[in-house]
Structure formats: structure tokens, C-alpha cells
Amino acid sequence: MTPGARLAAAIELIDDIACGNAPADRRIDAYMRRRRFIGSKDRQVITERVYGLLRRRRRLDWWVERAGLDAKTRTRLVADLVMTDNIGKTEINDIMTGSKYDPKPPSPAEQRLITLLTKDKAAIDHPDMPPDVRADCPAWLWPRFEGVFGDRTVEEMRALNEPAPFDLRVNRLKAERDAVLADLKPLALGAQPTVLSPIGVRLGQRWPVDRIPAFKDGRVEVQDEGSQIVGLLADALPGLRVVDFCAGAGGKTLVMAAQMQNRGHLVACDVHAKRIERSVLRLRRAGVQNVERHTLSSERDPWVKRHALGFDRVLVDAPCTGTGTWRRNPDAKWWLKQSDIDELTALQARILDSAQRLVKPGGRLIYVTCSVLTEENEAQIAAFLGAHGDFAIVPVPKLWPDTVGGTCPVTDDMLRLSPGRHGTDGFFAAVLERRVP
């Protein structure tokens, strides 16, 4: 593909992502599947451009609007070529030719934008930018993030805007971390032990997992370090009865199954049958034998009432805004609405209220989100405890030595992980125990 054709594909893709209801990675995959003629190198360049424009969108818009133009995909792209690629009018006109596959040439207004940015030798960051712009954060969400991170907000939001590292989780049913690290060494991927998770490996570069032997034979799975940690905090010991109430495709189910060493009973539940089915291959590859899959009709499925007070551990990895995963899904920040938060917090409360019925006296309810918003996390737990006086918080620092090991990175009772402070996705976890009468 010509450089211009790559830009045209990026513009088409971003507009496609904006019109769809699926995350950017899925829209990109679908786009590429429909265009098999696009080679691997071209796919990489197009994808990097799309994600780059999504990550830099707020700062690019600031420059475009400063020049008196409307912020649209094309004008953002033109500004990005000047400010990120460091090229000028001649090079841009050579790329945007209007030929068969190239974008149309820059309009007179876009030419003025190029001239302005080139003349000023503008860097994408500018001292006059408000902090929310410098952090590439939607303005309406900025006060919420300030309430969580305080004077670290810009730092945390910038970290949340960087590409995520490539983490693997070692499956202790089949391997130990040192052996996996030794097996990865010949691939020269810069594999290192994760700092917090005792079962994690961080690669120095992205790599197709189907070209990693340890993945193909079930010794490792792809999973963010933070996700590994919240799975370990469930403390799913061998012989226990455990429920993963919102199991999805089974990432944390796999963590707990390995903790249990295939001893005990682990039920993976979800309201989406297709998500549960996607876990089948992963469970088989991992050598897991103690998992039962169950599709729920809703969070109030009669199955819950029939199994009331029957489980030692109930993990609720609740549906959430996913604000802690913006490193992977930078598009999500631009489509999130207040109504989404309202609907999700109401759903989270209903799920917690139902799932708690499964917890036996002395058992634990573990609430997890990949959100950094207070209303989905601490506020949710406060409301739950206010309605369920037979539950109490088990402080994470108390659990950490026996479940994760090493030094606990927090001193609060509940766990908050963030990319700026811990190098993980943003995660929240609270462990609640039902009192014995």
C-alpha cells in the first residue's frame, strides 16, 4: 500500500469505530478480515495510526480548534502528520494526492493549518493546555479522576493513555515461572518477571501468542498483571467451593482453577452463553478439570436461590465502564456517557445483592472492577455494606502475604491498582467476609 492508502484506511477505520458499538480492536480485526489484501506491515502501520489518533485526540483537537477549524478525523490526521510525524506541506501533499487510493488533497483550511503548525514548529504539548487536555481526558470526566488521583491526576491519565505492556500469566497446573522464563529466552522477547504478581511474565515487545510454545501447550495465558493479582486475592484454596459469578471468557476462572490445583468445585457463570463457550478451549488447554460452566438468565437467576449459602468464595468481576483499561481501549473514553455510568452502577448493585446470597457464613465475596471511578468502587462497597450488615471488609494488606506474596503495594483496606503507580491496568478489589452467626 502507498503511504496515502494507509492514511485513507486509518480515516475510514476511525469513522467506522465511531459509528459502531464494538471496541476498536474488534472493529479493526473485522475491517482487516474484509480486506485480506492488506499485508502484515500495512496492518501494523494502519493500526498504530488509528490508536495514535485516538490516544492523542484531545490534544490534537486543541490545536485544530486553536487554528479555527472544526475537529474532525481528517483535520486531526493532518495535525498529527505535522506534530507527530514531523513532516510539512510538501510531504503531506505528496501523500494526500487524491489519486485512486489516497485521501483527497488538503483543503485550503487544512493547508492553513499545516502552515500554522509548521511555522510555529509546534510540539503536541503546549504550556497553555488545560490539565485535562494535556492528559487527553474528556473534560466532563476530569473532576472524577481528580477526586481519585489528586495531584497525580495528569501523571496517571498520561500513563493510562500509553500502550499497555504485554503480560503473560504462568499456569501453575503445568509450569513454574522460572521454567517459563527459561523457555522464553531463545525468543529474545525481553521476558522479565512481573513486579507484583508471582505468576506473571512481562515481555519487552508484543508478539503473536500462537508463536509462543508455552502458550500453545497451556503453560501461559495472556493476562494483565493487575488481573492476575485480583484473581489471586480470591484465595481459592484447594477443596473449596467457588463461583466466578461474571466469568466472561474465563481469565480469572483460570487463575482460581490453578490456585485450587483441580481440587474442589469451581462454577463459571455468565449471562452470555457465547462468552462461557469461549472459555472451553482455554480451560482444556490449561488442563483444568474442576470447572462447571453455567449460563444465567440474569443476575437473579433461580440457580442462585437454589445454591444459597453454598460457596466459600464468590468472585464478582462486575461489568463496568472499563476506565482502567483505556491503555488497551483508548476509543472507549470518547464514547462513554453519564447514562452509561448510571446504568452500570445500578447493575453492579443488583449483581452484588444477588451474588451475596451464595456466600456461606465465614465465606468471602470478592468484588472487582477494571474501573477507576469511585462510584463503581468504594461507593458501591459502602452502599453494599450499609444494606448487608452481616458482611465486613477483610483488609487487602492482611490477605496479601498469603495470597500474592511480597510487599503489598497499598495500605488501604481495599485495593486500587493504576498504570502510573503500579504499571498495571486500573483495577479495584474489595474482599468482604460473611460473619459466622
Hey, which residues are catalytic here?
370
The sign of the dihedral angle between the CA atoms of 93, 27, 169, 428 is: positive
CB 158 within 8 A of CB 420: yes
Which distant-in-sequence residues (6+ apart) come within 8 Å of 396 by Cβ?
233, 408, 410, 412, 413, 414, 415, 429, 431
> CA-to-CA distance for 208 and 267, rounded, in angstroms?
30
In the numeric block, the cell 508484543 is attached to: 206
CB 231 within 8 A of CB 313: no
DSSP tally for the chain: helices H, then strands E: 21, 12
Q: How far is residue 177's CA from residue 219's CA, in Å, rounded to a whole number?
A: 9
Owner of C-alpha cell 485495593: 415
Q: Which helix (H) or strand (E) holds 150?
A: none
Instruction: Return the C-alpha cell found at 203.
Output: 515481555
Give the other-Cβ count within 10 Å of 22's Cβ. 13
Angle, helices 142-149/153-160, rounded to nearest 10 degrees: 110
The single residue listed with the C-alpha cell 488545560 is 130
- Kindly give, in sequence order, each residue whose CB lies less than 8 Å from that of residue 127, ignoring residues fewer than 6 positions away: none
The answer to whether 377 touches 371, Cβ cutoff 8 Å, is yes
Pairing state of beta strands 291-295 and 265-270? parallel
Phi-psi region of 128 (alpha: psi -120 to 50; beta: other; left: phi over 0): alpha
Long-range pairs, 10-16, Cβ under 8 A, ≥24: 10/46, 10/49, 10/50, 10/53, 10/77, 11/73, 11/74, 11/77, 11/103, 13/46, 13/50, 14/50, 14/53, 14/54, 14/73, 15/73
